[in-house]
Amino acid sequence: MSKFSKKRGKSSPAISTASLPDIIFMLLFFFMMVTVLRDSDLKLQVNTPEATQLTKLDEKSLVNYIYIGRPTQQYQSVYGTSPRIQLGDKISTVDDIPLFLEQHKVKLPENKRPRITSSLRVDGDVTMGIVQDVKTKLRKSNQLKINYSAGKRAGSLD
């Protein structure tokens, strides 16, 4: 007789699934916190021009988007068909730009404020008169970092 007996049917221990709901809820909470929802509905038709050499903005939280274009079909009865400016979620005038910039600036820490960029999303069919008015108001508001948004041209090498 042998002194040592062989273990029969080596099986691995069962994996506990008791903490699985906790892990799922932690992941759900994490993705709910880091997801950025679009904070404004576009009320203007903005078909940005296409370009071949594009540079991506680093921090989206440091960007003010200023839309310039003609109102969409549902808003033409209210705002007409001439080019308008949209700041955030409302159609505004050039005189509202300094307040819009200040409201965005207050939300950011002091050390990030000099890196704020204003991104102009301008429809390709809009004349430069309203764009020049916006640029002048941005300059008077001491917002000197300006970016023109463009779409990627089909067939570009990038």
The per-residue pLDDT string of the chain (158 residues; one tens digit each, 9 = 90 and over) reads: 567 666 666 667 777 788 888 999 999 999 888 887 666 678 999 998 888 888 888 888 899 999 999 999 999 999 999 999 999 889 999 999 999 999 999 999 999 999 999 999 999 999 999 999 999 999 999 999 999 999 888 765 54
Task: Answer whether 103's CB lies under 8 Å from 78's CB.
Answer: no
Domain 44-152: which CATH class? alpha beta
CB contact burial 113-152 (16+ within 10 A = b; e otherwise): eeebbbbbbbbeebeeebbebbbebbeebebeeeeebbee
Predicted TM-score (pTM) of the model is 0.72
* Alpha-carbon gap, residue 67 to 4, rounded angstroms: 82
Q: Where are the domains of the chain?
A: 44-152
Task: Answer whether 48's CB lies under 8 Å from 123's CB.
Answer: yes
DSSP 126: S
Residue 68 burial (CB count, 10 A): 19
